[in-house]
Amino acid sequence: MFLPGSDRFGGRTRLFCSVQIGMYMNGFLIYVAKRFGQFVFVVVTGVTLAFLIAHFSPVDPVEQTLSLVTNFGATDPRSVEILRASLRELYGTEGSMISQYFVFWGRVIRGDFGPSLSAFPTPVMTIISRALPWTIGLLTLATIISWVIGNLLGAIAGYFRTSRSIKIVGLLVMALQPIPTYITGLTLLIIFGFLWPILPISGGAQLNLEPAASWGYISSVIQYGTLPALTLVLVGMGGWFVSMRSLVSNIVTDDFVVYSELAGVPSRTVFSKYVARNAMLPQVTGLALSLGNVFGGAVIVEFIFNYPGIGKLMVAGIYAGDYSLVLGVTTFSVIAVATAVFLIDILYPLIDPRVKLG
Amino acid sequence: MFKVLRDLLRYNREFLFGTLLILIIVAIVIASFFAPYDEMATYAVIPDMPPGPEFWLGTNSRGQDMFWQLAASMRNTLMFGIVVAVISRIIAIVVGLVSGYVGGKTDQIIMAFNDTLGALPNIPILLLLVFVLRDQMTWGVLAFTAAMLGWTHDSRLIRSVALSLRTREFTRHAAFSGMRTGQVLLREHLPYVMPIVFFTTMNNLIWAIGLEVTLSILGFSDINRPTIGGMIYWANAHSAMVAGIWWWIAVPMIAVVILFLGLFLLAMSVNEYIDPRSRLARMGA
Amino acid sequence: MSQVLDFKPAAGTSADVLTIKDLKAYYINDMFGVRREVRAVDGISLTVRRNEVYGIAGESSSGKTSLIKTLAGAIRPPMQVVGGSVKFDFGGKHIDVYAEPRKMQAARWQNLSYIMQGSMSVLNPVRRIKHAFNDFAFRHMGLDRRAFRQRVESHLQKLGLDPNVLEAFPHQLSGGMRQRVTIALATVCEPEFIIADEPTTALDVLVQQDVLGLIKEVQGRLGSSIVFVTHDMSVHAAITDRLAIMYAGRLAEEGPTQAMFDNPQHPYTAHLIASLPRIGDVSTRKSLAGRPPSLANPPSGCRFHPRCPIAIDRCSKEVPEMLPSAIGGRVACFRAGEIAVK
């Protein structure tokens, strides 16, 4: 997996960045530079992996497309050759593997994944950028809500151990955790789609509305996004609840918490400023680590609720045999997740003063 | 060790419950070996029969007996999950122990590799693989790839245990007495690491099976061999909900909930049992 | 409240700030079918007077930390008080810790403060020092923000700390500075009663000297009573007025420090004192046979009898009471005063 080219490329970029920024700036910028180096490393690895998988496939996309086209009737051999050549260029399958690899990188950086096959000749990037806001909106909202609620409930459960109501809430939340996303989603679909049909179960927004910053459109988006988001939130809360509760029950025996209780600091203050503030730190790291898995949930949820995000796009692309689209979405999601992790990483020192900068 | 199991069964309700659920699943799996029909056959019985005395869980629109389909599916799904879990355990243990025990530069390099792999989104890469392999996607390939992607989180956990063990007295004694690194890892450290391994195995199983279900529902696996996700796929393909054949969807869903709940309860209860604080409390420290 | 408290007890108040009567606090654990009772504090009675430094000494598992926690009302399940009482008298304000928890809560930090063991982690790592002062002390002082800040800064200066330390995070300070800050924090409200739980353990000797001197100075200025818990006998010799020796959840001996060092009445006390190195003394030290007893399953009769060099038959059958000793304190031993210190 570690081709000589990829290492040098990644390493050179990292070296370049840290030399560029140098030691003149303050520690924070050096920290950012280090994290950026990691970001680049991850992206390089992921893109390389995608490239390798795509190119070691037993299926040649060029021939596949050709056979689709020529199946429609007789085509003279010269046109087929021209088509083959232009397809080769399109898919970047000319030349040696190494040159293909660099051509691929060039395209990734330019954001050009070629035209989509099923929606020829629309560029893949255009299609992705149409679907992207839906998924980003849905995932960001759902992830943040489930993280906040899960952690809050977990912290309360860990600190106020004896309260009856939190024990019941905790059991409910934990019972949801092992249930697969599909089942939770389907259950919500049945409840709100058939038994008590108050929420829409298909689509991103009302079809006849123009996308605009109008209240009508926005409220429609919220309506349509409720069930998908709710599914993701219900599925995700459990994990945060359990880990936060365990963190908090450990922190509660830490010296500084016991000390503040001895000092008579009111429970509410101890809970928020001593316990929660400290327990939150590993959870933020956990959030960054969990982002790699969040896409999977999005795929299923978008499938169930017919939500126009890039998960649905990916699935549709696979059904249609749309090589450029699938490769484009994969590469893009690798970069998107790495970016999100990078952002969380550089925001982390703002909440934890102990992080060594520089 | 049996004493441990007996204690858990007697006093820990979650463990008891989890074990019961898993036993149900195991019973179903064992039943699959006695199936009167070939699991891949279709139209072997009257289709669309509701659950009743002749067909306990009904039949589906493809003419298959739901009960035997469930048994075979459960077996295949579990086998897939177990293969993934075992392979990724081995990798995670090796990587975690070596990295934690050796330390230094090697550890840093290994962990950098580990974290990079873990930061990649799993599903898009798997989907890409599914796409390029098309009809040649077998369960083996899928299991192997899933195992490759699923060990990173657990190797970190194991590594932290190994790190703490490295500095403890008995490790130094073993090293001084001339044991080689491999021997030390295997004979001294492994027993400590086992409880965490058990816990992560349960989690990994849940993850792997969830992966199978997700991919199968979308139709991206070998759907001719019956699996839990596959059952749901076929149910959707035949519009089972709309046609009123609700048991086609309900049976695999309930089965997978039982399976996951059982695994989850086992994992949680064992985790609590081995949690050092509760252990200390039990010992009266 | 800014004046030093008067020595002489005012009319209507006794001279005892703290009265503990027959206190029993156990860890009760019922898990996986096993019930275990760890008798950390098993029938302790003592009093602490106004303006005195009262030391509590003992080995690691003697139960002294549990005693302190019970004293301060800072116990959590599985630990619970099963008998006895803890009563404070803060210059006329009487509080029974376990019968009046709300009154106790209000008195915290204002009348009773705590200097904790291990300065490493007693302060919230993600907040600045000034917030600790705000959280702990502000609501008791009855001052506005600016006046409070000024009071804190002058208090810090008196303890030899730069007021800028308020803006720092705990991990930015050295161990000694953190301990000084903790002392400053514990004394800023000028409480009548301070519990010091191993404040000098884990500090190197020079810093130890420093911190001890600081505590002594503050105590003298405020006239507070201090309960000083440590296993280090030399620290007790340096700072305490009276000293109590704990063994296996019970008191072995109590008395004026100097007298106890010169003429210990209990064999355990004698051993503790004999174990202190003395300049010029080259004799080998003998350690006590056996190990500290398990608090879940303590020995019958006098708990020290398995390791006692002068134990007799009676010691394994009857529990010795705390009776007045020859040096003006109390001792629980059937053969009190018969041991000789070399």
DSSP string, B28-70: HHHHHTT-SS-TT--SSS-TTPPS-SSSTT-B-TTS-BHHHHH
CA C271 to chain centre: 21
Structure confidence by residue, pLDDT tens digits, A126-184: 888 888 888 988 998 999 999 999 999 999 988 887 778 888 888 888 888 888 888 88
Contact between residue B221 and residue B139 where contact means Cβ atoms under 8 Å apart: yes
pLDDT above 60: residue A12:
no
Which two structure tokens, joined as six digits, stand for A52? 């390798």
Q: The complex's ipTM?
A: 0.79
Contact between residue A329 and residue C144 where contact means Cβ atoms under 8 Å apart: no
Residue C303 gets which letter from DSSP? T
Query: Which chain C positions have a beta carbon within 8 Å of A268's beta carbon?
Result: none
CA atoms within 13 A on the CB side of C174: 6
Q: What are phi and psi of B65, to 5 degrees?
A: -75, 120
Give the nearest chain B residue to A289 (CA atoms).
B119
Distance of alpha carbon A154 from alpha carbon A244, whole angstroms? 5
Give the nearest chain C residue to B11 (CA atoms).
C32
pLDDT above 60: residue A55:
yes
**Of A3-12, B96-105, C219-228, the least confident:** A3-12
Among all chains, which residue has been given the structure tokens 């904790």?
C116
Contact between residue B89 and residue B157 where contact means Cβ atoms under 8 Å apart: no
Distance of alpha carbon C48 from alpha carbon C72, whole angstroms? 14
Distance of alpha carbon A332 from alpha carbon B124, whole angstroms? 9
Min Cα separation A153/chain C (Å): 22
Residue A123 gets which letter from DSSP? B
Query: Which chain A positions have a beta carbon within 8 Å of B261's beta carbon?
Result: 175, 178-179
Query: Which residue of A262, A270, A281 is the best one to mutate when testing the C interface, meaning the one whose CB has the most C CBs within 10 A?
Result: A262
Among all chains, which residue has been given the structure tokens 């839990």?
B228
Cβ within 8 Å, pair B281-C78: yes
* Section B185-197 average pLDDT: 71
Min Cα separation A253/chain C (Å): 10
- Residue A101 pLDDT: 83
Which two structure tokens, joined as six digits, stand for C308? 């006692």
Which two structure tokens, joined as six digits, stand for A214? 């109008």
Distances (CA, A) of B8 to A197, B11, B12, B269, C315: 45, 6, 5, 8, 42
Q: What is the C-alpha R_g of chain A? A: 25
pLDDT above 60: residue A22:
no
Cβ within 8 Å, pair C74-A262: yes
CA atoms within 13 A on the CB side of C162: 6
Cβ within 8 Å, pair B281-C38: no
Nearest to B11 among C33, C36, C78 (CB): C33
Residue type, A229: A
Write out residues 51-110 of C within 8 Å (CB-CB) of A: 72, 74, 105-110
Distance of alpha carbon C233 from alpha carbon C278, whole angstroms? 12
Specify whether the backbone of C43 is left (phi greater than 0), alpha (psi in -120 to 50) or beta: left
B217 — pLDDT class (breaks 50, 70, 90)? confident
**Of A295-299, B148-152, B195-199, C28-32, the least confident:** C28-32
List Cβ neighbours of B84 (8 Å cut-off, separation of 6 or more): B143, B146, B147, B150, B204, B205, B208, B211
- Residue C139 pLDDT: 86
More confident residue, C225 or B66: C225
Question: Is B279 strand, coil or helix?
Answer: helix
- Residue C149 pLDDT: 92
| Mean pLDDT (chain A, rounded) | 80
Which two structure tokens, joined as six digits, stand for B60? 């589906």
List Cβ neighbours of C166 (8 Å cut-off, separation of 6 or more): C128, C129, C130, C133, C152, C153, C156
Distance of alpha carbon A324 from alpha carbon B213, whole angstroms? 26
- Residue C245 pLDDT: 92
- Helix locations, chain C, DSSP H: 64-71, 101-107, 129-141, 145-158, 175-187, 205-222, 233-239, 257-262, 267-274
Q: Which of B268, B285, B255 is nearest to B76 (CA)?
A: B255
Peptide bond between residue A197 and the one before it cis (omega within 30 degrees of 0)? no
Contact between residue A311 and residue A295 where contact means Cβ atoms under 8 Å apart: yes
Give the nearest chain B residue to C78 (CA atoms).
B281
> Could you tell me the pTM of the whole model?
0.80
Q: What is the DSSP string of A224-287?
A: HHHHHHHHHHHHHHHHHHHHHHHHHHHHTTSHHHHHHHHTT--HHHIIIIIIIHHHHHHHHHHH
Query: Which chain C positions have a beta carbon within 8 Å of B12's beta carbon?
Result: 32
Positive or negative, the CA dihedral B19, B20, B21, B27 is positive
- Residue A142 pLDDT: 92
- Residue B149 pLDDT: 86
- Residue C291 pLDDT: 77
Contact between residue C334 and residue C315 where contact means Cβ atoms under 8 Å apart: yes
Query: Which chain C positions have a beta carbon within 8 Å of A248's beta carbon?
Result: none
Residue C326 gets which letter from DSSP? T
Among all chains, which residue has been given the structure tokens 């019972």?
A175
B83 — pLDDT class (breaks 50, 70, 90)? very high
Give the pLDDT of chain C (342 residues) as one tens digit per residue.
334 443 444 444 457 888 888 999 988 877 666 778 888 888 899 999 888 999 999 887 778 888 988 888 878 777 889 889 899 888 888 888 888 888 888 888 888 898 887 667 788 888 899 998 998 888 888 888 899 999 999 999 888 888 899 998 888 888 788 888 888 998 898 898 999 888 887 778 888 888 888 888 888 888 889 999 988 888 898 899 999 999 988 999 999 999 999 888 998 898 888 877 777 777 776 677 777 788 778 888 888 888 888 888 888 888 888 899 888 899 998 888 887 655
- Residue C118 pLDDT: 63
* Cross-strand partners of C34: C31
**CB burial readout A166-199, b (16+ within 10 A) else e:** beeebeebbebbbbbbbbbbbebbeebbeeeeeb
Cβ within 8 Å, pair C116-A278: no
Give the nearest chain B residue to A51 (CA atoms).
B128
Instruction: Report percent pLDDT > 70 for chain B.
Output: 87
List Cβ neighbours of A170 (8 Å cut-off, separation of 6 or more): A153, A154, A157, A241, A245
Which run of H or of E encompasses C188?
none
Query: Which chain B positions have a beta carbon within 8 Å of C29's beta carbon?
Result: 281-282, 284
Q: Is C280 exposed, middle or buried (0-12, 13-18, 19+ CB in 10 A)?
A: exposed
Distance of alpha carbon B75 from alpha carbon B33, whole angstroms? 9
Cβ within 8 Å, pair C74-A258: yes
* Section A33-54 average pLDDT: 88
Distance of alpha carbon C248 from alpha carbon C33, whole angstroms? 26
Positive or negative, the CA dihedral C307, C312, C316, C322 is negative
Residue A58 gets which letter from DSSP? S
Query: Which chain A positions have a beta carbon within 8 Å of B124's beta carbon?
Result: 295, 314, 329-330, 333-334
Cβ within 8 Å, pair C38-B284: yes
A1 — pLDDT class (breaks 50, 70, 90)? very low
B170 — pLDDT class (breaks 50, 70, 90)? low
Query: Which chain B positions have a beta carbon within 8 Å of A49's beta carbon?
Result: 120, 125
Distance of alpha carbon C240 from alpha carbon C259, whole angstroms? 12
- Residue A120 pLDDT: 67
* Section A10-14 average pLDDT: 44
Q: How far apart are the first and last CA of chain A?
A: 31
Structure confidence by residue, pLDDT tens digits, B251-278: 888 888 888 888 888 887 777 766 665 5
Residue type, A25: M
Query: Which chain A positions have a beta carbon within 8 Å of C123's beta carbon?
Result: 256, 259
Write out residues 67-106 of C within 8 Å (CB-CB) of B: 78
| Mean pLDDT (chain B, rounded) | 80
Query: Which chain A positions have a beta carbon within 8 Å of C108's beta carbon?
Result: 262-264
Q: Which of B203, B202, B227 is nearest to B213 (CA)?
A: B227
Distance of alpha carbon A354 from alpha carbon B107, whole angstroms? 23
Query: Which residue of B111, B114, B122, B128 is the best one to mutate when testing the A interface, meaning the one whose CB has the most A CBs within 10 A?
Result: B128
Query: Could you tell me if A284 lies within 8 Å of chain C, comparing CB atoms?
Result: no
Residue C298 gets which letter from DSSP? P
**Of A236-245, A308-317, B193-202, C221-230, the least confident:** B193-202
3-state percent helix, strand, coil for chain B, nearest multiple of 5 = 75, 0, 20
Structure confidence by residue, pLDDT tens digits, A320-334: 878 888 888 888 889
Q: Is B79 exposed, middle or buried (0-12, 13-18, 19+ CB in 10 A)?
A: middle
